[in-house]
Amino acid sequence: MSEYLRRLGERVLIFDGAMGTQLMALDLSDQDFGGATYRGCNETLVLTRPDVVRAIHEAYLAAGADVVETDSFTGSRLKLDEYGLGDRTRDINLRAATLAREACDAMATPQWPRFVAGSMGPTGMLVSSSDPSLSKITYEQLRDIYAEQARALVGGGVDLLLLETMQDLLELKAAVAGIRLEFARGLRRVPIQAQPTLITEGRMLLGTDIRAVCATLDALNVDVMGLNCSTGPAQMRDSIRYLCENARCFVSVVPNAGLPLMGPQGETIYPESPQELATELAAFVRDFGVNAVGGCCGTTPEHIAALRDAVASVEPKRRSAVERPQEAASAITAVSLEQQPRPLLVGERINSQGSRRIKRLLLADSYDDIVLVAREQVEGGAHLLDVCCALTERPDEDVQMRELVRRLAQSIEAPLVIDSTEPKVLEVALQNYPGRAVINSVHLESGRAKMDSVLPLAREHGAALVALTIDENGMAKTAQRKVEVARRIYDIAVGEYAMPPGALIFDDLTFTLATGEAEFLDSAVETIEGIRGIKSALPGVLTSLGVSNVSFGLKPEARAALNSVFLHHCVEAGLDCALVHPKEITPYFEIDAGVRELCDDLVFNRRPDALTRLIEHFEANASAAGAANEAQAEEPAGPIEERIHQAILRRRKDGIEAKIDEALQARTPVEVLNEILLPAMKDVGDRFGRGELILPFVLQSAEVMKKAVAHLEQFLERREGATKGTVVLATVFGDVHDIGKNLVHTILANNGYTVVDLGKQVPMNVILEKAVEVNADAIGLSALLVSTSKQMPICLEEQDARGLRFPVIVGGAAINRDFGRRIALLDAGTRFFEPGLFYARDAFEGLDLVDALTGEAARRAELLARIKREAVAAQASRRTAAAPAAATPLSLVKGERADVPQPPFWGTRTLESIDLTDVWPCFDLRSLYR
């Protein structure tokens, strides 16, 4: 292991401060740069004024920096070419490295080694953007550009390579690949530290969020990941916390001296004093366990000296080993490959061979329309999208794949599964995709050949991989053979290519049951048993199936029913991912019992006439529109409460208003809400939790609920007059489903409160700033998913750290009262959050709590005392129940995983809409427009 990483494991390392702004302050002359033509090329100074560059290194070392960065930030051939210095690329980078090396070696002692980071910044291109001039470069060109610079820097003696201020995740991937390419060619191996830049919204320039950054860099196996430039530490806080909790590697943070401001003469001012910057960064070390800190634009040796002192005075938080599932990532966000509840839904229809529509659109090069189909798939509930462009009519699958992947990357938040039999097509797709894709697929049909050509691609791009259970003897048909083939693939992929098992997805093959051939009668049973066998023989791997294959040849209605039934049994057996058309799936419990039995008979080969009976049923019932629609179409009779309940559960939006009116004849509006609507939605939530419903259905039910509540609202008593208080409401970051929160909004507003509703997906920082701004009486937080509920304790910790005192009310499908009691305590359960953390089971309990919090002091005090008592008692009983568990950090539910919910649509930002100089201060953006 490298000395740099070894030391990083022992203590926090301090990086140096700015090079660019330090050089600027010296007011160097044209001569210093070797002539007016080179003015502004800071890298040329390593040749013309090495004394100046070395003095800056020395000043930082004297201030206590452990690591100095070479003066090579814009030293790639592409950037140097702008000054006509491209052919000096090697000299400049080599000299930049030796200069820093000399300065470090002069100061280093065995107790206090000093390290040289070979700095490599962005090229100024935005390879994954749609801008024609900024994207006029390829992944391979970028890879070679970074490879060249890396070779020279390592040749000059750097201890690590630092990719910093990176703007485009695809460029960052290409840079890492370039470095690795040089390692493979024999270059001395050094650690790779990768630092993208986030703009104030917490995303990269093209909209990539921190989850996608973390998932992608994690899959690339970088040694350190972090953030630098663009903003001060405050704006990075949420993202750094995320990295420290989720990255499997070391984390670095190198902010500017505050968010840059414009001075009176239009100059850039970095507002933070050494003390301010140091205090904030030391807090990252103490609160999150950041491993390396330093300064970017506007920081000076004084900042670094203050930083060194501040970091020395805090106890770094120990980051616990991260046990989390593999994720796929788009250029927008990441999605866990292990959904809870299972399965991960992969939309099957962007497939030239599985959809006539897509085939037609590909033949016509109508990419925009394909993007619309992709959007439909995502809106229908697909977590990922399978993409296949193979056409017998055209020879240019790679060209079409490239174009389609680029378009999808810019507008679809669901990560892609690249489906092709051609390694070349897979490669082109991966080279144009900024996130972490899934490759579909490898197998052993011609022995190892396919694996040996595709696995290196999976490694270079960090892709996950679907593997089919096919070997030299053909498709494995029995469960036993499926497991055997899977094991062979596993041994090669994991044993030889070091794939993480969690990134291996075995597809043990689905055959159609529609032919009635004897050979395939047991095929579904074998497939289901194959899933069980693979999951138990190869721990940690995932499974997938092209579910719709099971019904090829049947009529659409029969297909929908059989697909849904087969999927249900596969998921019960442990299936993790399903290639389906999500819209066509019906929840098992909703399928007519008779149809379910017909399908079960066929799937499990329970009677010889199973196929005939199924076909006959659907022929006889052709007009009934099939099982899938039965649940939707037929309106059951019965009491009104039951009919409303069913309408919500079965996603029937039409006529809901009339039903509400009917219910209002015998009940008050509040009773309708309380006794009919809320229990119905709870039933939906419970079924989701048990895996009976997939998320798209929950959302459709929520739509019905919304419509019902909107109608009911006019009848709810509205209290006029002065506001009773102000509540800031938000659905937390990561969660895009806000039905619960909207309901609370309605109830509070109708009871005289001013509600500041921040919507969904709200970062904690935004919530707290708004609460301060409006002087809130309480903050209300909602979360649908277990993973996003983790934002709730963060609200308390952040308030505690910032000295804020807003009571917090939490609610949502994934949490319960015990969770509320647990998070009411800070510092691993040792200290009560004095303003109070309250769990509300529903909107009405939320209203009661807000009433108590804004009411008489005595009532408020009584409430707080009770909550505190309960929290402490619950903590004590957990201690006695499980002594060791009490000390472990927060875990919401036993065995829970940090699953990533379906992301929101972010969309792309046009370059024109951003003032890039705001975004990228340490880089001369004017060069982008040259």
* Residue ranges that bind ligand THG, judged by CB under 6 A: 348, 351, 354-357, 386, 419, 440-441, 466, 507, 510, 546, 548-549, 579
Nearer to ligand THG, 579 or 764 (CB): 579
**Residue 551 beta carbon to ligand THG: minimum distance, rounded to whole angstroms:** 8
Nearer to ligand THG, 348 or 842 (CB): 348
| Cα distance between residue 443 and residue 819, in whole Å | 45
Nearer to ligand THG, 466 or 598 (CB): 466
**Residue 415 beta carbon to ligand THG: minimum distance, rounded to whole angstroms:** 15
Residue with tokens 């191996």: 189
Nearer to ligand THG, 358 or 814 (CB): 358
**Residue 522 beta carbon to ligand THG: minimum distance, rounded to whole angstroms:** 18
**Residue 330 beta carbon to ligand THG: minimum distance, rounded to whole angstroms:** 19
**Residue 308 beta carbon to ligand THG: minimum distance, rounded to whole angstroms:** 53
Q: Judge contact between 210 and 197, C-beta under 8 A.
A: no
Residue with tokens 């459709």: 700
| Cα distance between residue 15 and residue 308, in whole Å | 10
Nearer to ligand THG, 46 or 426 (CB): 426
DSSP secondary structure, 191-227, as one string: -EEEEE---TTSS-TTS--HHHHHHHHHHTT-SEEEE
Nearer to ligand THG, 357 or 831 (CB): 357
DSSP strands (E only) in 529-688: 542-546, 577-580
- The single-letter code of the amino acid at 892 is L
**Residue 625 beta carbon to ligand THG: minimum distance, rounded to whole angstroms:** 18
Nearer to ligand THG, 550 or 712 (CB): 550
| Cα distance between residue 533 and residue 529, in whole Å | 6
**Residue 558 beta carbon to ligand THG: minimum distance, rounded to whole angstroms:** 12
Residues 6+ apart with CB under 8 A from 63: 16, 17, 301, 302, 304, 305, 308
**Residue 126 beta carbon to ligand THG: minimum distance, rounded to whole angstroms:** 32
CA nearest neighbour of 297 among 236, 230, 240:
230
Helix (H) or strand (E) holding 127: none
Nearer to ligand THG, 291 or 420 (CB): 420
Q: Judge contact between 26 and 52, C-beta under 8 A.
A: yes
Nearer to ligand THG, 281 or 505 (CB): 505
Q: Judge contact between 461 and 499, C-beta under 8 A.
A: no
Nearer to ligand THG, 466 or 663 (CB): 466
**Residue 373 beta carbon to ligand THG: minimum distance, rounded to whole angstroms:** 10
Q: With the C-alpha atoms ordered 710, 716, 721, 725, is the resulting torsion angle positive or negative?
A: negative
DSSP secondary structure, 477-502, as one string: -SHHHHHHHHHHHHIIIIIIT---GG
Nearer to ligand THG, 354 or 846 (CB): 354
**Residue 868 beta carbon to ligand THG: minimum distance, rounded to whole angstroms:** 54
Q: Judge contact between 439 and 464, C-beta under 8 A.
A: yes
Q: What is the DSSP letter of 902?
A: P
Residue with tokens 């013309």: 48
Residue 727 has, within 13 A of its CA and on its CB side, a CA count of: 29
**Residue 420 beta carbon to ligand THG: minimum distance, rounded to whole angstroms:** 10
**Residue 435 beta carbon to ligand THG: minimum distance, rounded to whole angstroms:** 20
End-to-end CA distance of the chain: 43
CA nearest neighbour of 516 among 609, 586, 604:
609
Helix (H) or strand (E) holding 471: strand 470-471
Nearer to ligand THG, 385 or 847 (CB): 385
Token couple for 527: 């497939």
| Cα distance between residue 93 and residue 91, in whole Å | 6
